[in-house]
Amino acid sequence: MPNHHRFNRSRGLCGFEMENEFAAARSMRSFAAKGNQIMSMAPGQLRILKLAAAFFLLQFLPHHFTKLHEVFSFIYPLLALLVFCVTIVGAVVAGIMWMSARETESKSVCGNWFATFAFTFAIGIGVSIASAAYGGGLPTGSFTMQFDQPLWSDSSSAAHVSGDITPRQKMLGSVVRHIVENGQKQDIIEQLGPSEDDGYFASSGRDLIYCTGPQRDSPIPIDNEWLLIWFDSSGRTARYEVWSD
């Protein structure tokens, strides 16, 4: 009996390993099929994918070049929306044509165009998510300057800057990572100064609020941007958010 039990266990482990190997083989075949789909595309379709990738990668520029902020806040979102709409419509049309096509060659052409639009859409979504993660969930340009207390405390540090973002906005990433996160209320006040108690978002229950400058990442930036901070019962930061009024 012990030997029989040992044999079954060994067999079960072997079967589990074989299932894993089969699953890995299926994944490799699926990946290879997608690769073959891309390789079978016409040069024009591959060029579209490259241009789409280059276009969506432009989202990373304002994280480092803040003077591009105004262009990327208004023009780029409109162009990106247009590209997404074209890819969705193109994929739907190509899919319908693929289903209605009877000849193998026609199906292949329609399938390639469907893949082109689908991959373009996927690239756009993927790069957009990566860009947001790269910015740490903060508006673009928030990590271009280290915290400078005298500059932060300057009365003009949140004032509009033509063709650029404000000093406070440039150092916002440094502020939240090195001062606000897990910080104590008194220490934060010593670094950032007293809260700007002007009644904005009082209903939110926020404990501290600081204006960082004009609204960012909006096609029509007509509002101001604020850093809101909440504390727990021990006086330590519970959360922080960037809001627009």
Give the tens place of pLDDT for each residue, 203-214: 889 999 999 999
36 near 140, Cβ under 8 Å?
no
Say whether pLDDT at 167 is over 80: yes
Instruction: Please report the pLDDT score of residue 242 as a whole number.
Output: 93
pLDDT of 28 strictly over 90: no
Residue 206 confidence (pLDDT):
92
Quote the CA–CA distance of 121 and 110 in Å, as a whole number. Answer: 17
Q: Which helix (H) or strand (E) holds 244?
A: strand 237-244
pLDDT tens digit string along 42-76? Answer: 788 888 898 999 988 888 887 778 777 767 767 88
Q: Measuring CA to CA, how many Å separate 106 from each of 34, 86, 103, 169? A: 19, 22, 5, 53
Q: Indicate if the pLDDT at residue 127 is higher than 60.
A: yes
Kind and range of the H or E run holding 100:
helix 69-100
In the predicted model, is pLDDT for residue 23 greater than 90? no
pLDDT, position 38: 52
Q: Tell which wins on pLDDT, 106 or 21.
A: 106
**Percent of the chain having pLDDT more than 70?**
82
Mean pLDDT of all residues in 182-210: 90
Look at 75-79, 183-187, 191-195 and tell me which has the smallest mean pLDDT: 75-79
pTM: 0.64
What own/partner pairs with CB < 8 Å and gap ≥ 24 does 154-158 have?
158/211, 158/212, 158/213
Round to whole Å and give the CA distance between 33 and 27: 10
Among 6-20, 45-59, 106-120, 157-171, the least confident range: 6-20
Least confident of 89-93, 103-107, 173-177, 205-209: 103-107
Does residue 2 surpass a pLDDT of 50? no
Concatenating the DSSP letter of every residue in 17-75 gives: HHHHHHHHHHHHHHHHHHHHHHHTS-HHHHHHHHHHHHHHHGGGHHHH-GGGHHHHHHH
pLDDT range class, residue 185, cuts 50, 70, 90: very high
